[in-house]
Amino acid sequence: MKRKGLISLGHTLFSNVINFNKKSKQPQVSLPLIYAGSWQFIDELSNRTHCLEITADLRILIDHRELTGQVQMLTSKELIFLDGYGYHLRVDAVDGKPISVYDEADNRVYELSEKLDSDGCL
């Protein structure tokens, strides 16, 4: 009986060590923080540079103006925002970093780059 108890205890301890190692190797990042930041994109039709800012509380600003609407979906790969006019704005992310934004109103995808200075945006 004692032997069974020791084996069970050993198994439990070993399982906890394995699970702890799995958890510690994969740090969890809060989903909103993946998208929080400032980027710029170029509208090739008008040849203008625009700013996209997403706050930690998931407010979305384009060219320093806040969009009305709400986040409909949030995963590590995409953020989908429904604006006040009923159009979707989708921000795609790869490896925890936003890479593009799709604007349903224009039916266009814009590649995002990190915002380097405040002079490049409208």
pLDDT tens, residue by residue, 72-117: 999 999 999 999 999 999 999 999 999 999 999 999 999 999 876 6
d(CA 122, CA 117): 12
Q: Say if domain 29-112 classifies as CATH 2.40.128.
A: yes
pLDDT reported for residue 28: 63
Query: Tokens 């060590």 identify what position?
Result: 17
| 18-27, 40-49, 81-90, 112-121: least confident range | 18-27
The answer to whether residue 47 scores a pLDDT higher than 90 is yes
pLDDT reported for residue 9: 46
**Of the candidates 78, 32, 99, 39, the residue with the CA atom closest to the CA atom of residue 59:** 32
Contact 89, 67 (CB under 8 A): yes
Contact 35, 98 (CB under 8 A): yes
pLDDT reported for residue 114: 86
Please provide the average confidence, as pLDDT, over all residues in the chain: 83
The proportion of the chain whose per-residue pLDDT surpasses 70, expressed as a percent, equals: 70
Q: Which residues contact 52 (CB under 8 A, 6 or more apart)?
A: 38, 39, 40, 41, 60, 61, 62, 91, 101, 112
The answer to whether residue 17 scores a pLDDT higher than 80 is no
d(CA 83, CA 57): 16
The answer to whether residue 7 scores a pLDDT higher than 80 is no
Confidence bin at 42 (pLDDT 50/70/90): very high
Residue 121 corresponds to which amino acid?
C
